[in-house]
């Protein structure tokens, strides 16, 4: 299930973590504390954002290496934390690192092998019904996901961020390093292509 962690752009000045319930401490406070060398606060950021990071790695084709990629991403994010600009949101900034590492790991496998693997291997899906979600016809779902996988990379990435990972437009733009306008137009083109290929419901 895709659940958004508590973010908090602009919500936290550097606050005293000990006086707050850590579960509700906004990312900005944890980042500020972590920048002071506080591994505790960073550990909490890791816990909070690891599920989404892993989700992105899997959707980007990391497969069995997703755990390793996520772990390495958090290690690198720690070193990169001083470059994190106040006002930036932590999650898309982190996801950009996860994306880069996933792409590196696929490149390390060899370009052709990576492309073939990505196209051929479907994402693992579950058909277990979750009462909280609307059902989707399995055949239709398979068509849609296969259609997404066939999109050219630039369109596929915006669709993956915006719809499969349910990031906002702004988060999508930040995670992919694109202007929001580009995200919007690519989404529109991607949906147009999918509609042509897969057809309307």
Partner 1 sequence: MTEREPVDDTNLAAELVRAGRTVLVEPPADDLVANVLTALGPASRRRRRPILGWWSWLRARRRRLVVAMMVAVLLVAALTPPVRAAVAEWLQIGGVLIRTGPPPATTLSPGPRAESSAYPAPPVGSRELTLDEARAAVDFPVGVPNALGAPDRVTVTTDGRVVGMDWMVDGRPVHLDQFDGTVSWVFLKQNWSIVTPTDVDGADAAWLAEPHEIVYVDRSGVERRETARLSSPCLIWQPLVADRRTTARLEGIAELVTARSIAESLR
Closest approach, Cβ 78 to partner 1, in A, equals 5
Residue 179: closest CA among 168, 169, 192: 169
Closest approach, Cβ 107 to partner 1, in A, equals 9
Residues in the chain: 201
- Let me know: does 19 contact 2? Beta carbons within 8 Å: no
Could you give the CA distance from residue 45 to residue 149 in angstroms, rounded to a whole number?
A: 31
Give the x/- contact pattern for partner 1 in 94-133, rule: CB under 8 A.
----------xx--xx-------------xxxxx--x--x
Binding footprint of partner 1, residue count (CB under 8 A): 73
- Let me know: does 140 contact 146? Beta carbons within 8 Å: no
Q: Which is nearer to partner 1, 28 or 60 (CB)?
A: 60
Closest approach, Cβ 8 to partner 1, in A, equals 16
Q: Which positions from 128 through 187 interact with partner 1, judged by CB under 8 A?
A: 130, 133-136, 140-141, 144-145, 148, 159, 162-166
Could you give the CA distance from residue 11 to residue 163 in angstroms, rounded to a whole number?
A: 26
Closest approach, Cβ 86 to partner 1, in A, equals 22
Give the x/- contact pattern for partner 1 in 52-91, rule: CB under 8 A.
-xxx--xx-----xxxxxxxx-xx--x-------------
Q: Other C-beta atoms within 10 Å of 110: how many? A: 11
Q: What are phi and psi of 16, to 5 degrees?
A: -80, 105
């Amino acid at each position: 299930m895709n659940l958004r962690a508590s973010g908090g752009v602009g919500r936290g000045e550097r606050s005293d973590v000990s006086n707050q319930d850590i579960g509700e401490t906004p990312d900005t406070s944890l980042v500020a504390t972590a920048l002071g060398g506080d591994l505790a606060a960073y550990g909490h950021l890791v816990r909070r954002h690891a599920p989404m990071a892993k989700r992105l790695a899997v959707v980007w084709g990391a497969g069995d290496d997703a755990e390793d990629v996520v772990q390495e991403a958090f290690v690198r994010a720690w070193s990169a934390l001083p470059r994190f600009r106040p006002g930036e949101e932590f999650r898309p900034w982190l996801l950009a690192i996860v994306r880069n590492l996933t792409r590196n790991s696929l490149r390390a496998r060899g370009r052709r092998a990576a492309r073939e693997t990505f196209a051929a291997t479907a994402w693992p899906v579950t058909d277990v019904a979750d009462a909280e979600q609307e059902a989707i016809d399995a055949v239709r779902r398979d068509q849609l996901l296969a259609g997404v996988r066939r999109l050219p990379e630039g369109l596929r990435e915006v669709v993956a961020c915006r719809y499969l990972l349910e990031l906002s437009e702004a988060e999508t733009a930040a995670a992919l390093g694109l202007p929001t306008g580009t995200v919007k137009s690519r989404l529109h083109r991607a949906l147009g292509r999918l509609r042509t290929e897969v057809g309307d419901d």
